[in-house]
Amino acid sequence: MREIKFRSWDKGAMRMTVYDFAADSVILSRLHVAMFADAIREPGFDLMQYTGLKDKNGKDIYEGDVVQGIHGKYPVAWNDERAAFEARIIGFASIPSNQWKEVEIIGNIYENPELLTDGK
């Protein structure tokens, strides 16, 4: 079974919340459902989906994560054209599927925006 997980960045509280539907089984608490519904509807939240992939340390990779690959740092995002998650350095090729197990999560675009700059 595919794991269905989301997380949201609460812009006001400046914190990340994870929603793991597999861990919560089929019956979710009303509070959990309400929190997830708020994360989808509210402009103060950014919702990110679990990619179904893990980094080399076994950590779940979500949209918005920044991973360190062989050739540099890559933000993880959904690509509508390819209907797939990808980690792409802007203007360069994305990480090939056979190299996903070699990457390491080094942060995310919300808590570590400095990872997307080249230090200049």
What integer pLDDT is reported at residue 23 of this predicted model? 57
What integer pLDDT is reported at residue 120 of this predicted model? 43
Cα-trace Rg, the chain = 15
Q: Model pTM? A: 0.78
- The listed CATH number (2.30.30.290, 3.90.1530.30, 2.60.40.10, 3.40.640.10) that belongs to domain 5-116: 2.30.30.290
Find out whether 33 and 21 touch, Cβ atoms under 8 Å. Answer: no
Q: pLDDT truncated to tens, each residue of the chain (120 aa)?
A: 567 788 889 888 899 988 776 655 545 556 666 666 666 666 788 888 888 889 999 999 999 999 998 778 889 988 888 878 888 765 566 777 778 888 999 999 999 999 988 654
